[in-house]
Structure 1
Amino acid sequence: MNRRIGSEQPDEHDELEQHLTQKLNVPLAWPEDSGLTVSHVAKIAAAATCDTAYSQAANGHLIDLFAALPLPGTTEGRNFWERIRDTGGSAAWNVHPGNMGQGYFDRIHDGNEGGIASRVLSFLEELTPSQRTAVAEVIGSVLDNGTLGVSGRYGGELWLRDAEMSAWRVALASRREFETAQDRERFFEAWRRA
């Protein structure tokens, strides 16, 4: 479902309101004589989704990407992360389990939105082109071709690109924390006059 900011017509319901009335089979003014109606809930849900879902989804995707790699604390994981450190040099310390601290992914799950994103972006920014190729080969060597359909350097390159774009989405979405209603209105006004 695509969520528009609001309907173009004053008396027309937006897509989320239409979805709620059709799927829940309730009128927008329900319950009558109540301060909080289905229409209000739709507007609250839309506002919450616009503010949080994008970066939460991207962070969840970053967690999924890391979950495709060998787990720290296992023999395979120790070997893998040492190979990443050897090929990635000092840049690898941005994502190396030995440098991220215990419970790092728990803190992301609990709402530390930008933590892993900034680490992934720093890691990739600091890699030289030859290090990036070597890291892609290491990552691709552990990807399960049977599950993912790719492995080797190409699979590693896909993993790195996906991690980079997901981290960028979190960073971009987090800038909204510093944006005011006046900033948003100035944006729309500038584009209206362009």
Structure 2
Amino acid sequence: MIVRRFLDEDDELARHLVRQLNTPLDWPEDEGLNTGQVAKIASAAACDVAYNQASNGHLADLFTVLPLPGTPEGDKFWRSLGEAGGDAALYIDPGNAGGPFFDRLVDSNEAGIADRVLSFLGDLDDRQRDAVAEVIGDVLAQERFAGSSRYLGRLWLRDAETTAWYVLLASRKAHETEDDHKRFFEAWGNACVSYAGFRPP
């Protein structure tokens, strides 16, 4: 899934390009790009963590391997998932998480689905998590992925959890300013002096 990205002057990536590469947003205007400049821009984009499109798109991709809502297979799957996950499954149930939530994800509102995924997984007890892994794994095993159903289901849950965390963490960074960055580096730079004589009890 491709999530389109537009730069504006408040964007973390835009600030990075301007600060690190000394490039205005409308650069290079009438001039062409050379290979080195393209490589630097690609590198900056790959390191972009403000909205973290890669994680955002990957989170959506994880849902694409599950049966589609509104189909016979999907209705059976989501009903089974609800039985396995109990009330926690309501966070990602298509009736609650469908409609605008994935649309907003495509429009760069990443936190909505990620929030729901983490709430879902955080509310599962160990027994429910195992049961949910079995339901998801059974579907993935039919897709000819290698591994047992239980293992595949656990992989899906682990991947979804980590990816959702990346998205939320990156969304937080979108609100950080240059002053926030300076305070961070100053605090850690001064820490070696402040904590030099510190010894744990």
Counterpart of 2:114 in structure 1 is: 117
Name the one with the larger helix percent: 1
| Distance (Å, rounded) in 2 between the aligned partners of 1:44 and 1:159 | 29
Counterpart of 2:181 in structure 1 is: 184
Against the structure 1 CA distance between its residues 176 and 97, is the aligned structure 2 distance closer, same or farther, given a 3 Å change threshold? Answer: same
| Distance (Å, rounded) in 2 between the aligned partners of 1:78 and 1:44 | 42
**Percent identity between the two aligned chains:** 53
Deviation readout 1:40-88 (Å, 9 max, x if unpaired): 88569837962546x2111111111111111111111000000111110
Q: 2:124 aligns with which of 118, 124, 127?
A: 127
| Distance (Å, rounded) in 2 between the aligned partners of 1:43 and 1:185 | 23
1:101 aligned to 2:93?
no
User: Amino acid of the residue matched to residue 95 of structure 1?
Assistant: I
Shift of 1:182: 1.1
1:162 aligned to 2:162?
no
Higher relative contact order (CA 8 A, sep 6+): 2
Q: Is the 8 A contact 1:117 1:171 kept in 2?
A: yes
Shift of 1:151: 4.0
- What is the root-mean-square deviation of aligned Cα atoms in Å? 3.2
Q: Is the 8 A contact 2:85 2:128 kept in 1?
A: yes
User: Amino acid of the residue matched to residue 93 of structure 1?
Assistant: L
The count of corresponding residues between Structure 1 and Structure 2 is 167
Q: 2:149 aligns with which of 147, 152, 166?
A: 152
1:20-169 map, 5 Å? 38=33, 46=44, 50-52=48-50, 55-144=52-141, 147-169=144-166
Moved over 6 A (4+): 34-37
| Equivalent position SS for 2:48 | helix
Gaps of 5+ in 2: 1-15, 193-201
User: Amino acid of the residue matched to residue 117 of structure 1?
Assistant: A
Shift of 1:191: 2.4
Against the structure 1 CA distance between its residues 35 and 185, is the aligned structure 2 distance closer, same or farther, given a 3 Å change threshold? Answer: farther
TM-score normalised over the length of structure 1? 0.74
TM-score normalised over the length of structure 2? 0.71
| Distance (Å, rounded) in 2 between the aligned partners of 1:35 and 1:74 | 52
| Distance (Å, rounded) in 2 between the aligned partners of 1:161 and 1:47 | 26
| Distance (Å, rounded) in 2 between the aligned partners of 1:108 and 1:191 | 34
User: Amino acid of the residue matched to residue 115 of structure 1?
Assistant: G
Shift of 1:98: 1.2
| Distance (Å, rounded) in 2 between the aligned partners of 1:139 and 1:47 | 33
Q: Is the 8 A contact 1:87 1:134 kept in 2?
A: yes
| Distance (Å, rounded) in 1 between the aligned partners of 2:121 and 2:154 | 12
